[in-house]
Structure 1
Amino acid sequence: MRYSTLSGIAVLATIVVNGVIAVPAVAGNGNGISVPCGTTALINAIATAPAGSTLVLARHCTYHLTTAYAGDDGLPPIDRQLTIEGRGSTIVRDGLTAGAFRIFHVTSTGDLRLDDITIRGGNVPTAGGGILVDSSGTLKLNKATLDNNTAGIEGGGVDVEAGATAYISRGEFTFNNAGGGDGGGLESDGTVTADGVVFSNNFANAGGAIGHESGDAVFRNTTLKNNTSGLDGGGIDSVRDTVQFINSKIINNTTSGTQGGGIWNAGSLKLIKTEVAGNVVGGSGGEGGGIYEDAGTLVLQDSQVDRNSANGAGNSRAGGIYNTGGTVTLDHSKVNNNASTTAPGGVWTDTQFTVNRSEIRHNIPTNCAGGPVIVTGCVG
């Protein structure tokens, strides 16, 4: 539902928002409320738009935020249903002059949709550097870019709290940071559905691209590439509950720690037609260049773990998969061409895998030999 509620008198009037005299947004011709290219106009539009409104930003405008609206929030909190059509615009916190604040905060009663927009430079000491979604809140991102946002604890780009919901399509998460905690690009603790999203060059202590501590998440046609972590899970760190990757790629991620160059998992993880390749665990004694499985459930279906490595000093092993106490199923999948400093190069496991028409080959220095349990069908 769209509203055009501002009268001609209101269009010409000025109002006070947070002590600033601002020209209000103007009603569009049935296509939403037009927001001129100015920060005060943007703040005013968000603060005053009725529930169900669509705000149409100035095409390719950059809206600069220099002060927080309130607390840690750069813009008025979203406490109702609101759509913002960016039309290629950018909302940025001016880092050289501004204090620390995030860009958007979706409250428990909020429902925010962002289309064709870039969110850049948010910075908070807590959670959600770019966007924070409170429990029961809803976020929808379409063709959105989260770039160079920082959170001190979790969710450098976006933090979806437990009980919140997020839908993300055709977007990018780039160069976001959660160096003190989890989820450099995205902290996924609620219900998250993503399709056609790229996470690249993000950093966190755990889960360079994605940190997942609770809830259910499904990632389709999603790529995690060139992300890094300081402790574990260069691509993703999944602690509990369920995560699925379908038709996706987890490639060229790195941890300087000791567990999981691409993936660290202790929950229920399913990979369907997904590639885990070129990931590196680089710490001394590192384990699981592609995947580190820690007493959770891991299913690979029509997937491959290929060309990953555990190349740190000492007893670095299992360039492909390292499993301690987990339940692992290989179904029409391959664990090939992985490498580690010491054997085995392919798979180290202390529990037997369930294997269905799968292979573990061409890993160095060995495929499975050197581990406490040799996976069924694995030779050398």
Structure 2
Amino acid sequence: MRHPRPAPARTRSTARSLAVCLVAGLTSVAGTAVAHADTHVRCGTAALNAAIVKANAAGKGTIVLARHCVYDFKTPYTGQDATPAITVPITFVGNGAVLRRDPGSAAHFRLLDVAVGGTAVLRDLTVEKGDVTGDGGGILVQRGGTLRAKSVTVKDNTAAGDGGGIDDRGTVELKASRLAGNTAALFGGGLAVESGGTAAVTGTKIYDNGARSFFGGGVLNDGSVTIEDSSVTHNHVDAGDGGGLWNDSQMTVNGSTIADNAARDHGGGVTNAGGGKATFNGSTIKNNSAGRQAGGVYNVNPGSTLVLNLSRVTRNTAGGPPGGVFNGPGSTVVNKHSVIKDNIPTNCSPSVVPGCVG
């Protein structure tokens, strides 16, 4: 609370009066500092949960985790959440700490749940080994919730539904982070952005994630996604399309690399479907593979638009032609000075793709 500065005295005050005012003022300021002090949490899950409860009740908070501590959760706090749902703005200063579902636990739960009205700001923290029967193996961001993460690793989490690492129904910002080794039984091994959700991914590595069936080994987007200065590599779909990226809404990829991803069926690197618009600016799609068609990019369904701007689609492979870019009936490819070459068995044929030969 900010305290107003007292008005100048109209008459001369005694020294004693000044001293009393000074002490009162210092006490007031000190009280304010204590009210907004950070909460330092010792290395224990009960202490962390208590700190989240306290911050929720206070309307906001900053929680400083014990340096390099592994907060090992053996049971959920409630439902399928290891920690209390975040309902207010809370900053977590990670100090290299780990939030982990104990590998020996038989219970199914995620590590963090950001609920409506909540904002989780994560710094220098790892979230790992969550396992849920629904969506969001590591972190669930509900509609109306916000996740802002920097220098954060989300790894080795599993969801029986969507979003092995993160399921996003609200707003997600990832900077200088990693999504690695996460698995979804359905959609979005690393990150699933659901309808109405938005995500901005910058300077982040998305790798070794998988979807066991359907779409988006690395990222699935049903909402709005921007990926910039990032890499999407070595992700896979075991039975479906879009080994690296799958989009049916709005996706923009700037200055990024989509490489060494695999899909059993179509779109080893990228699938753009369902009337979606996917734009690649100054990006590279290379060395991806598909079991059937389009090791590079699979652009299908009426109304779908793929824009390749100053980008490269090279050295991708598929079980049948084309190995590079497939453009289905009613869908559109806009090629702005991009290179499509050295794909196997063909670059684009039998599809018609502007600026592509063979």
Which has a greater percent of strand? 1
Pairing partner for 1:167 from 157, 169, 173? 173
Check conservation: 1:335, 1:346, Cα contact below 8 A: yes
The aligned counterpart of 2:287 is: 278
Structure 1 unmatched ranges of 5 or more: 2-26, 361-366, 369-380
Check conservation: 2:130, 2:158, Cα contact below 8 A: yes
Which structure has the greater CA radius of gyration?
2
Check conservation: 1:28, 1:34, Cα contact below 8 A: no
Structure 1 segment 352-371 matched on structure 2, within 5 A = 352-353=352-353, 355=354, 359-360=355-356, 367-368=357-358
Shift of 1:98: 3.9
Shift of 1:108: 1.2
The aligned counterpart of 1:42 is: 48
Pairing partner for 2:188 from 183, 190, 195? 183
What secondary structure is seen at the aligned counterpart in 2 of 1:43? helix
Query: Partners in 1 of 2:98 and 2:34 — Cα distance?
Result: 20
What secondary structure is seen at the aligned counterpart in 2 of 1:339? coil
The aligned counterpart of 2:111 is: 103
Query: Partners in 2 of 1:262 and 1:226 — Cα distance?
Result: 10
Query: Partners in 1 of 2:35 and 2:349 — Cα distance?
Result: 64
Shift of 1:251: 0.3
Pairing partner for 1:147 from 141, 152, 155? 155
The aligned counterpart of 1:317 is: 321
The AA in structure 2 aligned to 1:174 is: A
Query: Partners in 2 of 1:160 and 1:29 — Cα distance?
Result: 33
Check conservation: 1:139, 1:167, Cα contact below 8 A: yes
Shift of 1:52: 2.4
Check conservation: 2:321, 2:350, Cα contact below 8 A: no
Query: Partners in 1 of 2:34 and 2:78 — Cα distance?
Result: 28
The aligned counterpart of 1:127 is: 135
The aligned counterpart of 1:212 is: 221
Matched, 1:88 2:96: yes
Matched, 1:336 2:337: no
- TM-score, normalised by the number of residues in structure 1: 0.80
Structure 2 unmatched ranges of 5 or more: 2-32
Query: Partners in 2 of 1:188 and 1:275 — Cα distance?
Result: 22
Query: Partners in 1 of 2:322 and 2:141 — Cα distance?
Result: 37
> Deviations along 1:26-62, whole A, 9 cap, x unmatched?
x989762111111111111111122221101011111
What secondary structure is seen at the aligned counterpart in 1 of 2:109? coil
The AA in structure 2 aligned to 1:236 is: L
Pairing partner for 1:262 from 245, 258, 269? 269
The AA in structure 2 aligned to 1:67 is: T
Percent identity at matched positions?
Answer: 35
Check conservation: 1:323, 1:349, Cα contact below 8 A: no
Query: Partners in 2 of 1:114 and 1:48 — Cα distance?
Result: 18
The aligned counterpart of 1:69 is: 77
Query: Partners in 1 of 2:128 and 2:35 — Cα distance?
Result: 30
Query: Partners in 2 of 1:28 and 1:127 — Cα distance?
Result: 39
The AA in structure 2 aligned to 1:318 is: P
Which has a greater percent of helix? 2
The aligned counterpart of 1:348 is: 349
After TM superposition, what 4+ stretches of structure 1 lie above 3 angstroms from structure 2?
27-31
Query: Partners in 2 of 1:106 and 1:182 — Cα distance?
Result: 20
> Deviations along 1:41-89, whole A, 9 cap, x unmatched?
1111111122221101011111000001000111111011111010111
Aligned CA-pair RMSD: 1.7
The AA in structure 2 aligned to 1:262 is: G
Matched, 1:236 2:245: yes
Aligned length: 315
